């Protein structure tokens, strides 16, 4: 019985496998049409400032509605979670003040921490709220779920929040005095108390220039804290990144005394970071606005990558900096990095018809635009209204992408979210053909991304629901995938190569009446050896004390495939090998079944003609009685398409040729 064998892709080809798919388009299975919007019923201004994905795939949005913290949770299909708050919405007020939430993070136990501000006597203070997984305030945190911190200046608010591994909460943003503002950071115990061992009584203030502000926070595995934002002089701002030790002191080994300031283009415009991602190798990726001008409405996307010490990474963009324009005005807010290192950026752009739209762009890991994403590297989405503003981007576990933000316009602004198709992740499993000339190979494609169920096609025309293609011969294939997103988003993977199995070289040595068969490397073991044309086999490759005569040597590999078929003679009275090679032709080759054999029989004796398949089995035979010039025609119509070995000879001469039957 023949065996099948599996080949890994790395053994099949030395080139890269290419996956091509339309990506960056709305996922129409999300909230019915790809876009979710919600009017929270307040004073018309329902603004999403930030969002996060829970580990169960639910999406938490946070912002402001009617002067209160507004937290909404959506199910993975883009509908409000009925088990959260009131039909998916939790509105929480602090003491009747005007409040707004800017950032959110979910604890491992499912409790949700929201950081924002509350205005008391027209002065803003840090306000941290923790709610239970059902959306109600957590009474074990602070006072009735709240902790409010006055930092001693007129106006203070956090823009970002993060969790330490010990459960402590770090919020960072801006502290505004007269006339300057500084980066500020506060750390809290898990119960909401300010951590007095951090900085100065729990507070860290960092002055860089006249106007400083932190918009993003990341905590390294070693406990060091990184803030990213801007530092400005006379409305000319630059990217600013600072790093702190776990106790809140600046890390003197980072940048200059813990601070790094980067001027993006050297022009008198405002550059500021809005988002940051700590990469797996410890490098720091930041994104925000570059060349932002308050006078003419111009702005670009600016990205910078630093190494672990705060030095610009020369392998990214140009000298560590990448500036990209998506229309005359681009505003950057969201940043995420895919597992493959590609960078997703979310914001707004007027690239299409000078109309403000949500913007989703993707870059390669080196900062170059990924032109295979969307339309030339980006896609824009017109959500309802004329005040479209995307504020955060997330990557689901199935690789689909979520943007959150706001839609609408004065006097009505709403919460909004949209989901996009990412690349198909297509993983092939290839079963190679058993023997040369057979067609028992197969390709199986495991697909993710897009919207299931999928259709699969090997010819790009006919699709099937099964993800396996069988009965394949050696060759090169491309598999096309079509998902169920509306009319179907297409993807493809290829070239996928099913190769001919390796047939090793064979050396046959005859010493007196002994035959030794040596098979070279590269084949499939174990081998079976026969000297009678396949009537009997042995695992021993040496045959001794043989009588004079002709021996039909057949070697099969571990898959039952023919490695060699050759006739040898033993004649101890001869001074040399009496078997001479005979030249003959087979035409046409390949053939559809009709062949012509031509040769010169100089032996004066009849010849045998045998045709063997690639397992060594004789499938056709004939006796050639003519001597001298021989011309024979054979009809091989009963043989299947494939590779065959033709042997012609007798005790004095012999020859072999390969013939291909193709119909």
Cα gap 645→564, rounded to integer Å: 9
Which pLDDT value is given to residue 292?
A: 67
The whole-number pLDDT of residue 321 equals 96
For residue 3, what pLDDT is reported?
Answer: 30
Each domain of the chain, given as residue ranges in start order, spans 5-13+425-498, 24-55+326-422, 506-661
Cα–Cα dist 173/52, whole Å: 18
Name which CATH class applies to 5-13+425-498: mainly beta
CA distance 498 to 492: 17
Model confidence pLDDT, tens digit, residues 423-447? 777 888 999 888 888 889 999 999 8
> 321-330 pLDDT, tens per residue?
999 988 767 7
| Cα–Cα–Cα angle for 638, 643, 647, rounded to 5 degrees | 85
pLDDT tens digits, one per residue of 144-178: 999 999 998 989 999 999 999 999 999 999 999 76
Please tell me the predicted confidence (pLDDT) of residue 20: 58
Please name the helix (run of DSSP H) or strand (run of DSSP E) that holds residue 491, with its range, or none.
Answer: strand 490-498
pLDDT band at 298 (very low <50, low <70, confident <90, very high): low
Domain 506-661: give its CATH architecture: Sandwich (2.60)
Q: What is the pLDDT of residue 112?
A: 98
The yes-or-no verdict on residue 5 having pLDDT over 70 is no
pLDDT of residue 560: 83
Q: How far apart are CA 538 and CA 561, in angstroms?
A: 15
Tell me the three-class secondary structure of 231-292, residue by residue. EEECCEEEEEEEEECCCCCECCCCCECCEEEECCCCCCCEEEEEEEEECCCCCEEEEEEEEE
How far apart (Å, rounded) are the C-alpha atoms in residues 466 and 477? Answer: 17
Q: Lowest mean pLDDT: which of 407-411, 537-541, 655-659?
A: 407-411
Q: What is the pLDDT of residues 189-225, one digit of tens each?
A: 999 999 999 999 999 999 999 999 999 999 999 999 9
Helix or strand or coil: residue 139?
coil
Per-residue pLDDT tens digits for 573-621 = 544 445 667 889 999 988 888 999 999 888 888 998 988 876 667 889 9
The yes-or-no answer to whether 5-13+425-498 and 506-661 have a common fold is yes
Q: 216 to each of 51, 72, 103, 422, how far by Cα in Å?
A: 13, 21, 10, 25
What percentage of the chain carries pLDDT values higher than 70?
A: 90
Other C-beta atoms closer than 10 Å to the C-beta of 329 total 20
Q: Which of 171-175, 412-416, 492-496, 520-524 bottoms out in mean pLDDT, i.e. has the lowest?
A: 520-524
**pLDDT tens per residue across span 364-403:** 999 999 988 888 899 999 888 777 789 999 999 888 899 9
What pLDDT sits at residue 157? 96
Q: What values do phi and psi take at 9, rounded to 5?
A: -60, -35
Tens digit of each residue's pLDDT (9 = 90 or more) over 222-256: 999 999 999 988 778 899 999 999 999 999 999 99
Top-confidence residue, 73 or 527: 73
């Amino acid at each position: 019985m023949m065996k099948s064998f599996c080949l890994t892709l790395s053994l099949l080809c030395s080139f890269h496998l290419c996956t091509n798919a339309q990506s960056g388009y709305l996922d129409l299975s999300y909230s019915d049409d790809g876009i979710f919007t919600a009017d929270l019923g307040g004073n018309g201004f329902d603004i999403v400032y930030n969002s996060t994905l829970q580990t169960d795939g639910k999406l938490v949005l946070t912002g402001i509605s009617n002067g209160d913290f507004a937290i909404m949770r959506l199910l993975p299909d883009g509908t409000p979670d009925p088990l959260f708050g009131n039909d998916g919405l939790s509105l929480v007020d602090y003491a009747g003040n005007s409040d707004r939430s800017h950032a959110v993070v979910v604890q491992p136990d499912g409790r949700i921490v929201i950081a924002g501000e509350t205005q008391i006597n027209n002065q803003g203070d840090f306000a941290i709220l923790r709610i239970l997984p059902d959306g109600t305030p957590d009474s074990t945190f602070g006072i009735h779920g709240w902790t409010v911190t006055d930092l001693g200046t007129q106006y203070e608010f956090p823009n970002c929040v993060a969790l330490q591994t010990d459960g402590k909460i770090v919020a960072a943003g801006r502290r505004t005095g007269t006339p300057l503002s500084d980066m500020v950071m506060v750390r809290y115990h898990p119960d909401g108390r300010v951590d007095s061992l951090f900085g100065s009584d729990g507070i860290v203030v960092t002055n860089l220039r006249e106007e400083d502000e932190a918009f993003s926070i990341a905590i390294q595995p070693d406990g060091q804290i990184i803030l990213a934002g801007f530092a400005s002089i006379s409305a000319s701002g630059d990217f600013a990144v600072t790093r702190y030790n776990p106790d809140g002191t600046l890390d003197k080994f980072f940048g200059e005394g813990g601070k790094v300031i980067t001027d993006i283009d050297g022009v008198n415009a405002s550059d500021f970071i809005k988002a940051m991602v700590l990469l797996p190798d410890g490098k720091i990726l930041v994104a925000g606005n570059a060349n932002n001008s308050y006078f003419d409405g111009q702005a670009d996307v600016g990205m910078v990558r630093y190494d672990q010490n705060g030095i610009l990474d020369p392998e990214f963009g140009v000298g560590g900096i990448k500036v990209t324009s998506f229309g005359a005005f681009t505003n950057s807010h969201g940043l995420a990095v895919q597992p493959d290192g590609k960078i997703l950026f979310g914001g707004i752009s007027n690239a299409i018809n000078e109309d403000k739209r949500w913007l989703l762009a993707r870059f390669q890991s080196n900062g170059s635009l990924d032109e295979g994403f969307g339309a030339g590297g980006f896609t824009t989405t017109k959500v309802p209204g004329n005040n479209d503003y995307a504020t955060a981007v997330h990557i689901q576990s199935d690789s689909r992408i979520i943007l959150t933000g706001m839609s609408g316009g004065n006097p009505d602004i709403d919460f909004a979210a949209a989901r996009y198709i990412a690349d198909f992740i297509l993983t092939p499993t290839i079963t190679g053909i058993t023997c040369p000339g057979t067609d028992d190979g197969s390709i199986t494609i495991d697909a993710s991304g897009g919207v299931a169920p999928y259709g699969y096609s090997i010819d790009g025309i006919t699709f099937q629901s099964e993800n396996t293609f069988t009965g394949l011969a050696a060759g090169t294939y491309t598999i096309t995938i079509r998902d169920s997103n509306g009319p179907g988003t297409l993807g493809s993977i290829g070239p996928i190569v099913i190769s001919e199995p390796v047939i090793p070289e064979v050396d046959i040595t005859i010493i007196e009446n002994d035959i030794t068969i040596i098979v070279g490397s590269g084949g499939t073991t174990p081998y079976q050896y026969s000297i009678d044309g396949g009537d009997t086999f042995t695992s021993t490759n040496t045959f001794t004390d043989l009588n004079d005569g002709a021996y039909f040597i057949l070697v099969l590999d571990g898959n039952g495939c023919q490695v060699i078929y050759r006739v040898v003679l033993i004649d101890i009275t001869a001074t040399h090998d009496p078997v001479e090679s005979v030249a003959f032709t087979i035409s046409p080759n390949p053939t559809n079944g009709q062949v012509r054999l031509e040769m010169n029989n100089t032996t004066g004796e009849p010849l045998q003609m045998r045709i063997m398949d690639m397992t060594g089995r004789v499938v056709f035979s004939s006796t050639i009685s003519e001597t001298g010039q021989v011309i024979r025609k054979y009809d091989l119509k009963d043989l299947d398409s494939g590779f065959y070995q033709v042997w012609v000879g007798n005790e004095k001469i012999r020859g072999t040729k390969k013939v291909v039957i193709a119909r």
